[in-house]
Structure 1
């Protein structure tokens, strides 16, 4: 019973997530918060201890120089332990990021387009993606590049769906970056579902629990109504049986009364005939 309850709640959460997909904002920058893909990707890789996901975190890439640093909006590193860091030092971690996502803004888009591709190429960042939420700063609102055999960036081909959605496939992440009307979403082709953040999953869980409670209440009310209906039907049947019994008793009493009246009439007739000297007993 407990397993069925958990399975029901899990299905409710998945259903709620799918229904709420189009209502959630995606990939918005905030000065005090990491962009949403950090949380979504971290949630996606939560069970893989050697995948580190972060964003807006200073990456120092040259030992002894505090100026040699960069802070990607989103980056993913495979092969390093998953734990919170205040800074990321490539020589200490012995690993540079594998995937970087930069989100264009008025103050960063020029560096994202010119300086950072050269830096990330030099740091052997395997995949570099750029996203322009407004479409005002970059030639393409979504662009992806991957290192070739010579260590040079080559554009990742863009696929366009019938509805106009642009798709870039990240071979390393095993995911798709999808641009839907200037909104960037991360899609898992294996599950055929969009990635969600911890907060979105929690919202969906609360919503699913609320809906499960409503469903439970609905069933309880339905059971109560069914019970009341049964009780009403039983009462009606009981009343009907009582009426039938009463009618049957009345019919029996009427039959007895009629029989008694017939007997009395017969006796009276016999007395009248005897008074006339007619003996009915002597008549064959």
Structure 2
């Protein structure tokens, strides 16, 4: 088969925009995801080369729509920020730099097993897992950083509440009960959630 025919065949492949799976396991998982997306998008709002997204299908092998993963939240540095219906690694030139997964009953084995191996192979530099109910992970917040030998655990900044530093995001991730908060290391300021922004706006009025 010639190169032109191969290219035509690849272009004919259909990459679905949805996988039929729910966006979140519980309301707590959903609200954590929304809070993190809101906070990170505003934190990087002046960086047009930073993409913050979640539950978007990432296809990582051209021509194979079964080679797909949908992180709860991911951040990519060095590519243009624009709306995407799906994410094709071969077109973007790279995969995610940071991934955060909210572990649940239906995803716990994937999150610490096959997904961890896949993210390592895709070159995800930092991988964080958070279990809002503390049912499946101990401690409930874990992180891994990619090294020449593969993923290595990220040591905690503090044990109680457990806090892990993301060197790429320039933020600390802190487990506060059922909530995963993002904290500026220098000031200790928490990035606000939508509810906190709304409360401050009402208070100012």
| TMscore range, shorter length | 0.7 to 0.9
Match of residue 205 from structure 1: 201
1:129–1:41 Cα change, 3 Å: same
Match of residue 151 from structure 2: 153
Structure with the bigger percentage of helix = 1
Match of residue 118 from structure 2: 119
The question of whether the paired residues in 2 share the 8 Å contact of 1:43 and 1:196 is answered with no
Pick the aligned partner of 2:189 from 185, 190, 193.
Answer: 193
Q: Once the 2 structures are TM-superposed, how far is the Cα of residue 52 of structure 1 from its aligned partner?
A: 0.3
Matches within 5 A, 1:133-152: 133-150=132-149, 152=150
- Partners of 1:117 and 1:47 in 2: how far apart? 31
Deviation track 1:9-42 (CA, whole Å, cap 9, x = no partner) reads: xxxxxxxxxxxxxxxxxx93239x9532111111
The question of whether the paired residues in 2 share the 8 Å contact of 1:28 and 1:36 is answered with no
Secondary structure of the 2:29 match is coil
> Quick check: which has more Rg, 1 or 2?
1
The question of whether the paired residues in 2 share the 8 Å contact of 1:52 and 1:76 is answered with yes
Match of residue 30 from structure 1: 30
- Partners of 2:74 and 2:195 in 1: how far apart? 20
The question of whether the paired residues in 1 share the 8 Å contact of 2:102 and 2:131 is answered with yes
Q: Once the 2 structures are TM-superposed, how far is the Cα of residue 202 of structure 1 from its aligned partner?
A: 4.3
Task: Give the count of matched residue pairs.
Answer: 179
Deviation track 1:181-202 (CA, whole Å, cap 9, x = no partner) reads: 3421110123431012456424
- Partners of 1:97 and 1:74 in 2: how far apart? 10
Unaligned runs of 5+ in 1: 1-26, 211-284
- Partners of 2:34 and 2:144 in 1: how far apart? 21
The question of whether the paired residues in 2 share the 8 Å contact of 1:34 and 1:56 is answered with no
Unaligned runs of 5+ in 2: 1-26
1:177–1:43 Cα change, 3 Å: same
Matches within 5 A, 1:108-257: 108-150=107-149, 152-160=150-158, 164-197=160-193, 200-208=196-204, 210=205
Q: Once the 2 structures are TM-superposed, how far is the Cα of residue 122 of structure 1 from its aligned partner?
A: 0.2
TM-score, normalised by the number of residues in structure 1 = 0.59
* RMSD (Å), alpha carbons: 2.0
The question of whether the paired residues in 1 share the 8 Å contact of 2:103 and 2:130 is answered with yes
Q: Once the 2 structures are TM-superposed, how far is the Cα of residue 207 of structure 1 from its aligned partner?
A: 2.3
TM-score, normalised by the number of residues in structure 2 = 0.81
The question of whether the paired residues in 2 share the 8 Å contact of 1:159 and 1:166 is answered with yes
Match of residue 251 from structure 1: none
Q: Once the 2 structures are TM-superposed, how far is the Cα of residue 203 of structure 1 from its aligned partner?
A: 4.0
